[in-house]
Amino acid sequence: MGKVNISFTINGSSHQIDVEPQWTLLEMVREQLHLTGTKEGCGTGDCGACSMIVDGRLITSCCMLAPQADGSDVTTVEGLLANGDLHPVQQAFIETGGVQCGFCTPGMIMATKALLDRTPKPTLDDIREGLAGNLCRCTGYTKIYEAVMTASGQEI
Ligand code: FES
Ligand code: FES
C-alpha cells in the first residue's frame, strides 16, 4: 500500500509528510517525528497513556489513524512547554508528587490540560470524570487529583 501525504500542525509547527496509511497517529508521532513523550500503554483505547489534544479535543492517539490527522492541529505533551518553561499543569504534577511514573503521566497531563481548558475550576467529580479515561495501574489517584486541584489554583 502506498504512503499518504498529509499536512498538519503539531505543537505549533507545520508539517507535510508521507505516512503509512495503516499507522496510528501515535506511531507517526513517535516513530516518524521522534516525539517520544507520548507513551503507548494498551494500544486499544483503554488506558489513556497515548492522550493528545487534536483540534481542542482529547483523543487516544493509538486509536486514530495518522491520515486522519490531515488538516488537524495536534498538541502532544512536548507542546506544553513555553520558551523552555514547564506548563503550570506539569509544574503542579511535580509539586504535588503526581508524577508517579513515566508511563501514565504524559497522558494524565494532557487530560488535565483538556479538562482545565473547558473547566478552569473543576470539582473533584469533574476531575474524576475528566481523567476517567486515564488509568494508573499502580499507585492510585490521590496525588494526581491533588495535582489537578493545584493546577487550577484550588485546595483539595
Ligand atoms: S495506549 Fe492508547 S489508550 Fe492505551
Ligand atoms: S501507572 Fe503511572 S503512576 Fe500508576
C-alpha cell at 127: 476531575
Which pLDDT score is estimated for 150?
Answer: 98
* C-alpha 48 to ligand 1 mean position (Å): 5
* C-alpha 102 to ligand 2 mean position (Å): 8
Which pLDDT score is estimated for 25?
Answer: 98
- Alpha-carbon distance of 71 to 8, in angstroms, equals 5
* C-alpha 104 to ligand 2 mean position (Å): 5
pLDDT tens, residue by residue, 45-95: 999 999 999 999 999 999 999 999 999 999 999 999 999 999 999 999 999
For ligand 2, which residues put their CB under 6 angstroms from it?
Answer: 100-101, 103-104, 136-139
Q: Could you tell me the domains of the chain?
A: 4-80 (3.10.20.30), 88-151 (1.10.150.120)
CA 46 distance to own-chain centroid: 14
121-149 average pLDDT score: 97
pLDDT level of residue 155 (50, 70, 90 thresholds):
confident
Mind spelling out the 3-state secondary structure of 50-98?
CEEEECCEEEECCCCEHHHHCCCEEECHHHHCECCECCHHHHHHHHHCC
